[in-house]
Structure 1
């Protein structure tokens, strides 16, 4: 598996947009041992870089995600780090010997767009 974020972006033909280490991600810490690992990048806002990361099944529980600075991800979720430079609108799904990365324009629609 590639580990250079610029190579990941080049491979998928997209802009290299790494998050600032001082920004936060939404991460479901208690779910990280579950497979597959999901990551989705929304538009950055309010001190977040837009990334939301969880393992297994998504939950709508209010406390599903915790805020965590980007610079903690190499320790807590190293497998997602190479993908963090993908810009808003991208999704990542990882499992043992499996990688799926795709652009999802629906992620960029706002409530003002009627979605």
Structure 2
């Protein structure tokens, strides 16, 4: 998987910044069910979190949209997110069958 992550970072001109596998992500139930499109954004890591928030479908402002999950569970629970997780803070991705979009969003670093 590391090579796939390196390839994504190189393709989009992003620094390779894999999170520590003991850290957590915030993930929605829809992403865990494999719904598409799959979205992710990364803030700065803090307090044992990787900075990643991953969801599927439309954005929601619901307070309970995200639940914590250790990164090592993603291989089984949301493998489609794995190739993107070495993108550094301040980046986003969106993927669906036959589609991939990755872009910087520096507003994520301001929060």
TM-score, structure 1 length as denominator? Answer: 0.88
- Structure 1 CA distance for aligned equivalents of residues 89 and 48 of structure 2: 15
* SS of structure 1 residue aligned to 2:55: strand
* SS of structure 2 residue aligned to 1:19: coil
- Structure 2 CA distance for aligned equivalents of residues 105 and 63 of structure 1: 25
Query: Which residue is equivalent to 1:31?
Result: 30
What is the RMSD computed on CA atoms of the aligned residues?
Answer: 1.1
**Structure 1, unpaired ranges of 5+:** 111-115
Query: Which residue is equivalent to 2:103?
Result: 102
Matches within 5 A, 1:52-67: 52-67=53-68
* SS of structure 2 residue aligned to 1:16: coil
1:93 and 2:104 aligned: no
Instruction: Select the structure of larger CA radius of gyration.
Output: 1
TM-score, structure 2 length as denominator? Answer: 0.91
**Structure 2, unpaired ranges of 5+:** none
Query: Which residue is equivalent to 2:21?
Result: 21
- Structure 1 CA distance for aligned equivalents of residues 100 and 13 of structure 2: 16
Matches within 5 A, 1:62-77: 62-77=63-78
Deviation at 1:37, TM superposition (A): 0.6
Aligned length: 107
Deviation at 1:34, TM superposition (A): 2.6
